[in-house]
Amino acid sequence: MADGVNRTKAKRARAAVRAATARATAATADVPPPALAGPDLAARLDGLEAKLAELGSRLAGEIAALAKAQRGAGTGLAAAASAAPAAPAAGGLTGLLGGAKTAAATPAASAGGPSQAQLDRLQAKLVERVDQRAEQLLDAQMKIAEGTSKALQQLAVQVRATRQVAAFGARGRTRRRWRVVFLVHFVEAWEALVGVHRSMLGDPDFDVIVATLPRWRRDRRAFEYEDAISAVLTEQGIDHIRLGGEGEQGIEVLRALAPDVVFRQSPWDSDIPPQFAASELGFTRICYVPYVYYSANFDPQQYDQPLHRLAWRYFSANADDLAQYSKVNLLRGRNAVLTGYPKFDAILDLAAGVGDEAWPIRRPGRSMRVIYAPHLSIGGQGLGFGNFPEVYRDVFRLARENQDVEFVFKPHPTLLDVCVASKLMSEGDVRWFEENWAKLPNTATVTSNQYARLFAASDALISEGISFFSEYTLFDKPLIFHENRTNKGLNAAGAFLYDGLYRVKSFPAAVAKLREVLAPGGDTLAPARAANIRRLRPFPGEAARNVVEAVRAGLAEECPR
């Protein structure tokens, strides 16, 4: 019976190895014949294929070794009880069996032969040890087969990608227009690119494609949201294709489009499928317009991630941003172009002509209109600007006590979820605030990322930071900085904004300051804000066009039509 068990295990191991080999073979079966463009690419292909051959040989050797070992296990079990003493082999199953047979023969030499019970016990012990060794061999072989299969598959992907890129290079340029692809995974920040997209759509030099990707959802540890992203673009009338649902094939589709330029929306590679990471886009030119004006003291992440280093062009908002990028970035700003910030222009365009209809609270007469915008970085974590869990009861109380002021609660869309997840507020605390806030006649809540019209309809903003410091400044209205003592501060590209902020340490002080600055003659920082607006927008209304012209000039130099 023990012979049958081990033969079954041997068959299982060989079947698993054959399956792994088949998978690895299938991964390379559809690789097309190479169409090389240059000796460097040909050499790279040769090297990859040599690695494939080496791994294939190693796999074949492991299969042969396993088969031999398992054959040895079956033969040894059949003869274990009656075999004559034998010198133990050097190792492996043969050595184990030889040692066991020597032990079994020793009683016969010293006591006239072993009893049947002794032989049965020795055989049972031998079977147990062989079983253990066979299981170890099986586990080891499965791991070898799995690792080899993965390595072969990865190499097959590399070979396929290299051959595709080589083929694209060999076929030469066949288009009269430069192809530009916008990869969209963060539709909430589309304002940063909407002007560039619109300008290129109407330009005969460019063939424009918008492509959606899913975004990483941390609570479910999966890439999701592409349906919602696509729906928003459709609602806005933006023609697009969807790449995220194609898995690994999505990047192959992008390669097949052979874009001259790809715009990425953010520098966070972890937010999108790994095949679209900056390091995987070497077949094109990466362009980046930041999704937010960088003003927090968070410089390496804001200016020197892989995308910043690999970008063909980084489009800088103003002289302060360019100086900070050049100081922090590995390339010292050699890939940066000063164009102005398209998002600033887009926000003001969206707010143009807005009246009372954009304010969500409807009451007779005209009250003081205030936006309260708490920041996400609560509990002293991250940038440390947020303090909503500490003040939410004060916020409610002051709104209730100041009925002549209308308050719109404009949190980060995930703030309340983060408050609960971090255990700084309970679900009951959040429910209490939401329900009681909604009951007040002078309050409302807005979670939409389309906030430009809300800004235009307001009188002032109370905020903990960060992006609203620059964006609300553009509207030339008082901005009260409800300052958390744990905040990391602003970097050199944002420190000048302090000159236009009324800084307070508590929410009651913020409301008192609000009444002061909205009284006639009370807005003493208006001149500083005006200077900051000029500094933030060196090219008012021209940023998107400047980006387009910078792309055109660079492509004309590198790949003239």
- The model carries a pTM of 0.70
Residues 521 and 415 in one domain: yes
Residue 41, pLDDT score: 53
Does 30 map to a domain?
A: yes
Residues 372 and 520 in one domain: yes
Residues 209 and 152 in one domain: no
Averaged pLDDT of the chain = 81
Does 314 map to a domain?
A: yes
Would the pLDDT of 340 be above 90?
yes
Q: How many CA atoms lie within 13 A of 2 on its CB side?
A: 19
Would the pLDDT of 415 be above 90?
no
DSSP H helical ranges for 366-506: 388-401, 415-421, 427-439, 452-457, 467-473
Residues 123 and 20 in one domain: yes
Residues 107 and 212 in one domain: no
Residues 529 and 453 in one domain: yes
Would the pLDDT of 34 be above 50?
no
Does 347 map to a domain?
A: no
Residues 215 and 74 in one domain: no
pLDDT digits (tens, 9 = 90+) for 212-267: 999 988 767 888 889 999 999 999 999 999 998 656 789 999 999 999 999 999 99
Residues 196 and 90 in one domain: no
What letter represents residue 73's amino acid? Answer: A
Does 151 map to a domain?
A: yes
Residues 423 and 334 in one domain: no
The answer to whether 461 and 480 have CB atoms below 8 angstroms apart is yes
Query: Tokens standing for 484?
Result: 């958390």
Residue 18: count of CB within 10 angstroms of its CB: 12
Looking only at the bridges linking them, the beta strands covering 215-217 and 222-224 are antiparallel
Residues 189 and 132 in one domain: no
Residues 360 and 299 in one domain: no
CATH of the domain at 225: 3.40.50.2000
Does 348 map to a domain?
A: no
Does 346 map to a domain?
A: no
Confidence of residue 286 (pLDDT cuts 50, 70, 90): very high
* pLDDT-wise least confident of 158-172, 261-275, 510-524: 158-172
Nearest to 439 by CA among 427, 447, 431: 431
Residue 106, pLDDT score: 47
Domain ranges, residue 523: 355-536
pLDDT digits (tens, 9 = 90+) for 489-527: 788 888 999 999 999 988 899 989 999 999 999 999 999
Residues 496 and 362 in one domain: yes
Nearest to 193 by CA among 285, 241, 245, 262: 262
Nearest to 444 by CA among 432, 454, 456, 431: 454
Last residue of a domain, one of 106, 141, 171: 171
Does 350 map to a domain?
A: no
Number of separate domains in the chain: 3
Last residue of a domain, one of 171, 188, 214: 171
Does 392 map to a domain?
A: yes
